[in-house]
Amino acid sequence: MPELPEVQTTVNDLNKKIVGRKITGAWFDWGKTIKSPLREFEKNIKGKKILKVERLAKNILIYLSGDFILLVHQKMTGHLLVGKWKIEGKKVIPIEPKHIISDPQNRFVHLILFLDNGQMLALSDLRKFAKVILGTKNYMENLPELKELGPDALEIRFEDFKNIVGQKHGKIKQILMDQTAISGIGNIYSDEMLWVAKIHPFKPANKLSEKELKNLYSAMKKVLEKALKLRGTSVSDYRDIEGREGKYADVRYVYQREDEKCQRCGTMIKRVKMGGRSAHYCPKCQKL
């Protein structure tokens, strides 16, 4: 699932590419992606001007004229692309840019918004879990899923981080991924920041010392900022809006590196199950 660095990279790029453009129409072949009534979606989206694009946790918010907001949550395998496609029946054929054409991860297009400059904003989503909602600003800002979000991982101050995380009784990795506690972190970066901070993913959050909390807070900022600079992680489906891979996967410490040597001590990285997810850690550097 795209996490904070991937979503922020997408938002930054969209602000450069589509702001000021007018949406002239929409095409989709998987109506379940759109959580608004389909007829209202097509009617309300047409003619809207794109004013700005923002990130809220892992959500992309596209602000439109007429006091509307288009929300896109990319979920497990979704990513937004800007380019050109040709639609032939049920086939969606990419025309440009070259990275979209050449990478098979970009071929699962199920939603296209046509822009007034001939470009298109498309959603590629292999597993069809992505979610799109269109509504008025007042309606969108009062969605429970947005109102219940915790502070953003890149914006939270240490004292607030300590007060939130340090009082939770769950495993620290699960707390980091809980969007109502701290928003923006998922499976990839929780593994990475816990390795940097030398904290076992199963350690109860409320058992972390002041020093461990400071180390974890510092690691969170360091890892997320590094991943953002490298334009995200593409170990799976994520691509930027031109269909290119993020480069953080080349430098990651532990995520999906089971049975490889720890970069600090040389011990083999382990993978363990945590609920329905996996945790990757060094058993020597990150002792429980």
Residues with active-site annotation = 2-3, 58, 277
The encoded tokens of residue 1 equal 């699932």
| Residue showing tokens 């506690």 | 181
User: Shortest CA distance to 242 belongs to which of 9, 57, 19, 2?
Assistant: 9
Helix H or strand E encompassing 23: strand 23-28
User: Shortest CA distance to 80 belongs to which of 139, 33, 22, 138?
Assistant: 33
Helix H or strand E encompassing 172: helix 172-177
Helix 210-229 / helix 158-165 crossing angle, nearest 10 deg: 120
Helix H or strand E encompassing 145: helix 144-147
Residue 147 CB-density burial (10 A; 0-12 exposed, 13-18 middle, 19+ buried): exposed
Cα–Cα distance for residue pair 67/265, rounded to 1 Å: 54
* 3-class secondary-structure state, position 72: strand
Q: What is the CA radius of gyration of the chain?
A: 20
